[in-house]
Every structure is written in structure tokens, then in C-alpha cells.
Structure 1
Amino acid sequence: MKFLVCLSLLAGICTLAGRGANAGLTISGPQYPVQEGEDVVLECLSDSESDMGNYTFQKYSTWMKTWVQLDSGRYLRCWFFNVNISRVDRRLFMELNDVTDYQKGPYRCVSSGNQTSDYEVSENFTISVIYLQDIYLQKAHSWRSSVSDVVWVEEGSTLEVKCTAYSSQEPIYEWSQEFSDWILPSDTLIIKNVNEAHEGKYICLARHPDMFSLVKTKSFELRVMPKGPEHVRAFSTGLNLPDILLYITIPAVLLATLVFSVFIIILRHRRQQLRKPQISLVDGEKRTPIYKGSLQSVSSTTSDTQPLVM
């Protein structure tokens, strides 16, 4: 029993000693969220007397499912992960310029080489990045979901447009109309029974919940077309460059390609027919058959009406 107690105490002491060794290696960085596009500096710290030449940074790659070493000797990896490793006054730094969500981590500091007896690893460090990227507008209940700068809607119908932004947190959305005090606190704009009074420019605004200064906007202009023959005229006058490419240019190019391909096929077929050998009718009249039903003939200078072989 005493032996087991001593063994347990010894194991506990060794565990604490091992934890103490790893606890001496730490990685420091910003303790607050940083905005996308800012510069971030991480530092590797050790309690031992060292010039930090035996330590380096690592980043976990979710694609390769492993830790990737980042140091000044591996230029390709430093370029791929967009980091800059430097040692200044016996201190180890890693600088990330124009930080993005991809560079948030996690990172860690590890020992390398043979100067230390034990392999040391710091705790993982992940950078909290705040970002709000471009807004996308999508039209609901339509075969073409993308929203152009000008949207034509038939009078009396319903328009539904959803606003979406790629953000680190769910943004706060609101819709507004230009030159109007009307505001809709929602990500979806729904206008029922559309009429000429609804025409105008509609703006979707997305705001980051933790950083109100981070704002993105996207807008479109609503135009109403009356029912009847005016429908075609209004639709044609409202076509912009993407619509022209989609509805006119691309079908015209495909049709021209099809007609040209058929023309080439017909031309090649005609040339092949012209290359076949032709039978001279004059030579055929100068020859008479040797026997009935024979395809071979000999030259004849007299008018013999009796075949040689029956």
C-alpha cells in the first residue's frame, strides 16, 4: 500500500513538473477582436534564459489536418500564410498584415532543435476577427434570383427581395427608400400590389452588431411596367448590360455558331461529292456488251445487232 501511495505521489510530481515546463512557453497577442484589414503582431515568450532562436510559430491547417511550421527559412509557407517571422533583441515575433478571417488561427509556439531537453508547446491562440463583406440581393419566387441595378415589376404583382451579407456575426439589416423617411428593420423587402407610387431607389443597409461603424450597403431601382402591350416596350427599354448579354448577345452568338457549323458541314459534303470519279457517256456509247447482262464491253466499229454470247 505504501508503495502504491509513493508511486502515485511520484507520478503527480512528474505531471506537475511537465506542466510547469510547458507553462513556461506562451504566445501573446491581441486580447480584443480586431477588424479585418488591420495588422496583428504575435509574440512567443519563454521563462527560460533564451535568445528565442530555438523556438518557432506553427499554424493549424484545416485542409491538411496538421500543424504547419512558420519560420523565416520556409519562404514558401510564409508567403502562403502571409506572415512575417522576425527575431529582434532576443525576442520572437510574427506579424500578420491585412488580417482576414482565414488568418485567425489557431497558432502556437513550439521549441525546435536540440538545445532544449524537452519538447515545449504553448497553448493555442486564435485571433478574433470582425468582418463584414459585400451584400448580395436575391429575388424570391423568380427563375432569375440575382437582382440588377434596375428591376422591372409588373403593376399589381408582388416584389420580394432578400438581403444577405457575409459577416463574422449576423448583421443588423434595414431597408430604406431614397428621399423618404420610410425604414423597414428586416433583411427581406416585400412590396405587395406594386404600383407607380412604389417606384424609386431602395437601399439595403447591413451593420455589424459589435462594430456599428462597419457598414455595407446595396441598392436597386424599382420601375413599374403596366399590363398589356406596354409590357414589352418597358421591358426592352430597361435592359442593362448584363441583361443584354443574357437575353440578346449570348443567344445570337449561339445561333450564329450553329448556322456556321451547318454551312461548313454542307460545304464539306459537296466537295466530297465532286471528288468522286465520273463515267463518260461518250465512252459508254462506243462499247457493246460481249454477252447479255455483262458489264464489260469491247470497242466496236460495226453495227452488229447480235450478241456474241446469248
Structure 2
Amino acid sequence: MMSSPSCGLYQLIGGAEAATLPGSQHIRKLPGSATMCGAFIFLLALRLAGASPGVPTVQLLDHEGPVLEGDNVTLECMAGPGADMSSFSFQKYSPWLQSWVQLDAGARLRCWFYAVAVSRPGGRLLLDIARLQRWHEGAYRCAPMPLNDTFVPEPGPSNASGEATFMLHVDYLRDVWVTWPDAWCGTVGDTVTVTEGEDLELECAAEASRPPKFDWTRDGEAWTLQAQALGLRGLQQDQAGTYRCHARLSGLTQSRAVTVLVEPPAGTQRLGE
């Protein structure tokens, strides 16, 4: 029988100087923080009861398709049949703090993650995020509740073990603009004037979570150019008009219009003028 005046970190091992558990597994007491004490006792109780705690996972509920900026989403912690969800908490990884931040209302750093609400209806553990923004992106997990009620300094999501990490990606498509290709800070205005016979090349750009698909159209004509850049060679008067760049991403669309004016060469006089 194992006893200790303080609770440390225990590790499943085999060999001497270890207390025996059912199933010929062993544990050895190692130096550790009180933060891990509750997690160990919970897992040990399940083991002695013959239960398999499994790995807690996070699932996205009732949401089809990409997660978009402005959406409302709900995550649920799933820890297997009969699990006591009151001993778990939702946490989000902060690369800046290099810690997992607890998202329950009592946490001191909770104010950093506003529009996030943890609830426990009917013994479940839910995380509601309203009006998703870019800063809500990142790694979430469900883990045994830390005793310090704030954050858990641990390696990042790529190195974490013992809990399944859920990566929340938020798609967004914001402003769209037209530029001169290969120009530094070469944003094009609403109107472009060129001389007849000259070439014109415009390029579409967008602020988006990942590269969108671009296409160009011309008002009054049923053609579409599937490309980011629009090239017009030897412009003539009949090519003047309004051209529109469209950026598309995950069902979102943003557009920008540019009116192209074509002037005759200097000193040229047309018939009737």
C-alpha cells in the first residue's frame, strides 16, 4: 500500500522500488507540482475501479462547412462514458504566455478571452464562442482542472500529450484592392486613365485568412477571367469600361471595381471633333 504526506507526480513504470497496481503495472513517486495531484488521483481512482478513462477530446457541435469570422460556435469536451466532467476544464494555448490558459469564469486571465463562455448543463462541459474573431484561432483542449485556477505552463500543442488538442481555424475575407504588379505600395484608385494603344495590367489582392481564388469580370459583358492579374494589350476605345476583381474564399465574396478610361494619343483629332 502506498502512502505519502504530500501529493506529487506519479509515473507508470515497471521495476523495483515501485508500488504494485492491478494488472502488473507500477507507479513510482516523482517530484512534481501540486497542479498534477488532482489529475493523478482522478486517473488512479479510475484505474483501481477497473475503468478506462481514455483521452479527453474536443468536438465542434452542430456546425457544417468552414468556420467563418463572425460565426457562433460550441465546443464540447468528451471524456468517455461515466466521466465526471466537473473535474475537467477547457483550456486555450497562448503562444505568448507559453501556457494553457483556463477558460472558466474564475480564471485571472479569463478577461483576455472575452466572448467565451464555459457551461456545464446536465453534467456536460461546453465552450461557447460568440462572434468569432481571428484571435480566437488556436489550440483548445479539455484537461483535468488545474489547482491554480489560471494557467498551466506546458509545451505547446505539437508536444502536448495526454489530451487531444483541437485546432480551431477561422476563415475570413476582408478588404479587396487592386494594385499595379511589381510596384511598391502601388494601390490603384477607382479610375485608371490610359492612352489608346497602351497596355494595362492590374492585379487583385485581398486581406484573407489564406489565399483566396480571384477572377475578373467586365460590366455589361458575360465573360470571366479566372486569374489574379488582368492584362489588357493595345487598349482601344471599345475596351474602356468598368472591370471588377472578385475574391472568393469558403463561400465568402468581396469585390473591387476599377473604371478604365481610354484617351486618344496627344495631338490626335478624331472625325467629327
The TM tier, using the shorter chain, reads 0.5 to 0.7
How many angstroms does 1:161 deviate by? 0.8
How many angstroms does 1:168 deviate by? 4.2
Which residue, 158, 169, 172 being the options, matches 2:213? 172
1:1-310 map, 5 Å: 7=15, 13=25, 23-30=54-61, 33-47=66-80, 48-50=82-84, 52=86, 54-74=87-107, 77-112=110-145, 122-140=163-181, 145-208=186-249, 211=250, 213-228=251-266
How many angstroms does 1:106 deviate by? 0.7
TM-score (norm 1): 0.58
**SS of residue paired to 1:29:** strand
How many angstroms does 1:100 deviate by? 3.1
**SS of residue paired to 1:23:** coil
Consecutive unaligned residues of structure 1, counting only runs of 5 or more, are 1-5, 231-310
Amino acid at match of 1:86: S
Consecutive unaligned residues of structure 2, counting only runs of 5 or more, are 1-13, 28-42, 153-160, 269-273
Return the alpha-carbon distance in structure 1 between the equivalents of residues 183 and 56 of structure 2: 58
In the alignment, is the contact (CA less than 8 A) between 1:152 and 1:225 conserved in 2? yes
In the alignment, is the contact (CA less than 8 A) between 1:72 and 1:86 conserved in 2? no
Taking only the aligned residue pairs, the percentage that are identical comes to 31
CA distance 1:113–1:60, change in 2 (3 Å): closer
In the alignment, is the contact (CA less than 8 A) between 1:70 and 1:77 conserved in 2? yes
- Higher RCO (C-alpha under 8 Å, 6+ residues apart): 2
**SS of residue paired to 1:89:** helix
Return the alpha-carbon distance in structure 2 between the equivalents of residues 221 and 155 of structure 1: 15
Larger radius of gyration: 1
How many angstroms does 1:147 deviate by? 1.1
CA distance 1:13–1:160, change in 2 (3 Å): farther
2:6 alignment counterpart = none
CA distance 1:128–1:140, change in 2 (3 Å): closer
How many angstroms does 1:36 deviate by? 2.6
CA distance 1:24–1:66, change in 2 (3 Å): closer
Give deviations 1:150-176, integer Å, cap 9, x for gaps: 112233222111112344443322111
Amino acid at match of 1:201: T
In the alignment, is the contact (CA less than 8 A) between 2:196 and 2:262 conserved in 1? yes
